Structure 1
Amino acid sequence: MNHASGTQRQALASNGMRLNELSARTIVDAIRGRRLTAISVMEACLERIAIREPEVKAWSFLDADAARQRARLADEYQASGLPLGPLHGLPVGVKDVFDTSNMPSEYGSQSLRGRRPTEDADAVSLLHRAGAVVVGKTSTSEFGMYHPSPTHNPLDLSRSPGVSSAGSAAAVVDRMVPLALGTQHTASTTLPASFCGAFAFKPSFGFASMQGSNVLVPRMAHIGLLARSLDDLTLFAGAFDHSLADVEVLRHPPRLGLVRGPGWDSVSPDARQALDRLVAGLPVAVVNVDLPSEFDMALEVVLGLLNAHLANRFGALPEQTFRSFCPPLQEGIVAGRSLSAARYLELEAMADRLSALAAALLCDHDALLTLSAPGEATRLEEGPGSGVLSMPWSLCGLPTVSLPLLRGMNDMPIGVQLVGRHGGDRELLGVAAWLTDVVTLDGKSSHEQI
């Protein structure tokens, strides 16, 4: 990996911040205003990656020279006077479960080593049209399963960065790139965001095409967006839906419902206390919401559907290939093989029922509030953590936002998860902006100038 030049290494914003540390919105505005070039920002990002990647291991594929060439092309495109997309010149990481025609797309699996698709995934094509410069592919666990990826938590290298979008979360938090694309079937974006301290948005089901990506369960397949601020998160979302590019803070306090849903018994005492303190300090009353009893089955439904689809997709592969898979994938395939057609239909019906019940809950609340994870990032030897607090909302296809507003007993981040109504993505981001605005983070404010 080539290091940046000495001149580029010293490139700083007027407030002393290095270019890779600037917010996505600041970078985009400065490039558009010709106060920065795409290549200067790319060089800063590549320098950071060169320094930190040996420890963090956020990337499964990175060609620094090719990334530089793409950044130069972005600058040439701008010089030609053609219209610019909303992410023009911005370095972005893409989770290696999206197909990319110019990079390996291996889904974290030895069984796909060297795979080179001929077409980009729809989401990647959209990023290109928006002007983003894809730096490389971020690391993931094998086929997005609950298994450790090579990535380490950038805040504490002895801790897990979470599940399959871990490389994307780590790259963003470590200031290697300002934005990164992930996915979520159960908790693959929300959990890494919580463990690493990123802002994350899992939109409503159907928000973006998943064509050309690793779809495990079609009804639970979502994109995931990761950033270092809510403002950058809305910029990112705006590339997919222009109405989300600028979300204003609510003019009236939101109606919030506090949920302690399935898996709450696994929540650590410090996480419970941190959430209770946050809720107690809000300038609005937060109503305790008891979920209908059917939600006690949510985790069983999620895992049952997942296993069924794993068996359907991988169950007929040769035994040698099966034995090469990570243990969670093998176990899921075996469990899915024993699932009857009648039981699968029961699980699908229960998923529909839970979706209807969740929609009814959100008739009385602007958002549901809960935790993104049961506690701080686990130690590496303890595994990638649990996504139980996100699973019901992924199953129901509801939009969620994870905000790094809490701290645990070891001063590691714990995310606050907001859940909105299906299709209410803009409203949910508005609630997230309100909550972020009323909660003080370290008493600090950031002023970026170029």
Structure 2
Amino acid sequence: MSNNYTKKISLSEDIKNIKNNTTDIYNIINKVCKNIEEADPIVKAFENEVEDSKKIRLLNDAYYSSKNDELHGVIVGVKDIFRVDGFPTKAGSSLPPELFEGQEASSVTKLKKAGALIAGKTVTTEFAYFEPGQTRNPVNINHTPGGSSSGSAAAVAAGFCHVALGTQTIGSISRPASFCGIIGYKPSYGRISTDGVIPFSPSADHVGFFTQDIEGIGIIANVLCDNWNKNIKTSKLPVLGVPDGNYMYRADNTVLENFEFNIQKLQDKGFIIKRIKTFENIEDINRIHKLMVSAEIAEVHKNWFKKHRKLYRFHTKEIIEYGQKIDKSDVKKAIKGQLELRKKLQNLMSKQKFDLWISPSTLTEAPIGIETTGNPFMNLPWTYSGLPTITIPSEKTTNQLPLGLQFTGFFNEDEKMLDFVGRIKGIEV
């Protein structure tokens, strides 16, 4: 019996096929629901719901969808820290869902208004931190899908939906995308509104999403990102910068060998690669980021934690208790440090004349078991700085587990970054 439950699904192709009348929204719903029915009892990407009711709801919503809608036929999964009308929000926790009621997330509303259909809520780690849910990696169900956007990444990889919303405060989009062999986009900080999302750390929370196709990223970004310019096209190959030093050396040999193999491939295709010493103080960056997010999650949960402390799991309880002890002056310094790091990274890009940073997406392949979601070390500095990132799949390891390449661009130049990465993806890195 196979441990692989991945299924191909292309957002851009299905939109094109609907327009060409080679398929319709009902065929897509039937295909997606068949994938869910066959595999989700094992993968467990979605929060519990009777599958018949999921299909009935999708068919009912499809009745009101217009073929002229920008996202007609697009099926969406939503991480269960986003509020969605008609669905409870549990945030991967045992706390009463009534605590989290409120207005629907604007990102969800935008997708609906553009014609997308909501397949359901996807599993998240508890409050988007490190306590995992039951989701398994569709590439190999004996391994973690990563976190905290575990269910969203797994749902896209398994063909349960075209796109799934996630969030990233440390590495919760980039890491699961890599482990599940799909594409994960974390925009520039603030480019997609976080309203209607249960916060972790407001100074570091990013809303992003997963697809299987790079064209699909642009289609969804055009709906979700503020002032998205879909006409930005570049005529040159991007110059790429590798962040050499302490940061890179933390990745294991398998990851580094795969990374260097891809660097050589890119050079063979005519890409210029520059190696730039940076993140020599990576441990300080990690420490300051932890101070900031710990203090902020403690503040977010202040009232809930007082009343429901016993319902919190170990890691979440630990970070809240740590955050309660942090001085506000240290938090202010940490927030200031975000802008300083962003400026430093962009200055290096400008002075050394390169367009994108390129780095591994993870320290290792997806760990075995679902007791851990892996280590977000490779994602943290980019998230802390608020710069935009895209993770794309690269080769699989000898264990047939995917690895990823992580690209980082200039702040608020997400469109240019996407165009560059689309060119790179097009040469089949």
Same structural fold, with TM-score higher than 0.5 when normalized by the shorter chain: yes
CA contact (8 A) 1:160 1:377 kept: yes
Assess if the C-alpha contact under 8 Å between 1:186 and 1:394 holds in 2. yes
Matched, 1:202 2:190: no
Q: Which residue of 2 aligns with 1:41?
A: 28
Within 2, Cα distance between the matches of 1:21 and 1:281? 25
Whole-angstrom distance in 2 between the partners of 1:354 and 1:296: 13
Q: In 2 relative to 1, CA 69–340 (structure 1 residues): closer, same or farther, beyond 3 Å?
A: closer
Match of 2:411 in 1: 422
Three-state SS of the structure 1 residue aligned to 2:411 is coil
The whole-number CA distance in structure 1 between the counterparts of 2:70 and 2:230 is 9
Q: Aligned partners of 1:321, 1:273: CA distance in 2, in Å?
A: 47
* TM, length-normalised to structure 2: 0.91
Give the 3 Å change call, closer, same or farther, for CA 359–112 of structure 1 in structure 2: farther
CA 1:74–1:311 in structure 2 vs 1: closer, same or farther (change >3 Å)?
Answer: same
Deviations 1:315-373 (A, max 9, x none): 44455622221211111111112211222222223222212212212323210000111
Q: Provide the aligned length of Structure 1 versus Structure 2.
A: 416
Alignment partner for residue 216 of structure 1, among 184, 187, 200?
200
Deviation at 1:76, TM superposition (A): 4.5
Match of 1:148 among 132, 145, 149: 132
Structure 2 residue 410 is the aligned partner of structure 1 residue 410: no
Q: Does 1:369 align with 2:358?
A: yes
In the alignment, what sits opposite 1:232? 216
Match of 1:173 in 2: 157
Partner in structure 1 of residue 71 of structure 2? 87
- Map of 1:112 onto structure 2: 96
Residue identity opposite 1:228 in structure 2: Q
Question: Do the aligned residues in 2 keep the contact of 1:95 with 1:180 (CA within 8 Å)?
Answer: yes
| Partner residue, 1:6 | none
Deviation of residue 398 (structure 1)? 0.6
Aligned partner of residue 153 in structure 1, secondary structure:
coil
The CA distance in 2 between the partners of 1:260 and 1:323, in whole Å, is 44
Aligned twin of 1:348: 335
SS at match of 1:106: coil
Aligned residue in 2 for 1:16: none
Equivalent residue letter for 1:230? I
Residue number among 232, 250, 258 corresponding to 1:274 in the alignment: 258
Instruction: Please tell me whether residue 122 in structure 1 is matched to residue 106 in structure 2.
Output: yes
- Change in CA separation of 1:87 and 1:244 when aligned onto 2, cut-off 3 Å: farther
Deviations 1:411-448 (A, max 9, x none): 211110000010110111112112112235xxxxxxxx
TM-score, reference length from structure 1: 0.87
Q: Report the CA distance shift for 1:115/1:312 in structure 2 as closer, same or farther (over 3 A).
A: closer
Deviation at 1:70, TM superposition (A): 3.9
Alpha-carbon distance between aligned partners in 2 of 1:381 and 1:67, rounded to the nearest angstrom = 28
Unaligned runs of 5+ in 1: 1-19, 441-450
Distance (Å, rounded) in 2 between the aligned partners of 1:385 and 1:411: 17
Aligned to 2:288: 301
Deviation at 1:246, TM superposition (A): 7.0
CA contact (8 A) 1:262 1:389 kept: no
Question: What is the deviation of 1:259?
Answer: 1.4
Matches of 2:305 and 2:79, distance apart in 1: 27
- Provide the rounded CA distance (Å) in 1 between the counterparts of 2:131 and 2:245: 24
Identity of aligned residues (%): 24
Distance 2:246 2:96 in 1: 35
- Preserved CA contact (<8 Å) 1:173 1:198: yes
* Structure 1 counterpart of 2:319, from 332, 337, 347: 332
Partner of residue 27, structure 1: 14
Q: 2:47 aligns with which of 46, 49, 60?
A: 60
Per-residue deviation, residues 83-117 of structure 1 (Å, max 9, x unmatched): x3321121111111100111111111110346673
The runs of 5 or more residues in structure 2 that have no matched partner are 1-6
Distance in 1 between residues matched to 2:257 and 2:425, nearest whole Å:
19
Instruction: Tell whether the 8 Å contact from 1:205 to 1:397 is kept in structure 2 after alignment.
Output: yes
For 1:46, give the aligned amino acid. Answer: C
Distance in 1 of aligned mates of 2:220 and 2:381: 25
Within 1, Cα distance between the matches of 2:88 and 2:395? 37
Name the structure 2 match of 1:378.
367
Amino acid at match of 1:305: M
Q: What CA distance in whole angstroms lies between the structure 2 residues aligned with 1:175 and 1:48? A: 6
- For 2:425, which of 421, 426, 436 is the aligned residue? 436
* Amino acid across the alignment from 1:49: I
Give distance in 1, aligned partners of 2:335 and 2:12.
41
User: Residue 396 of structure 1 corresponds to which residue in structure 2?
Assistant: 385
The answer on whether the counterparts of 1:58 and 1:167 sit within 8 Å (CA) in structure 2 is: yes
Aligned partners of 2:259 and 2:279: how far apart in 1? 22
Is the Cα contact below 8 Å between 1:161 and 1:384 reproduced in 2?
A: yes
In the alignment, the residues of structure 2 paired with residue 98 and residue 244 of structure 1 have an alpha-carbon distance, to the nearest angstrom, of: 26
Give me the whole-angstrom Cα distance separating, in 2, the residues matched to 1:116 and 1:37.
36
In structure 2, the partner of 1:74 is 62
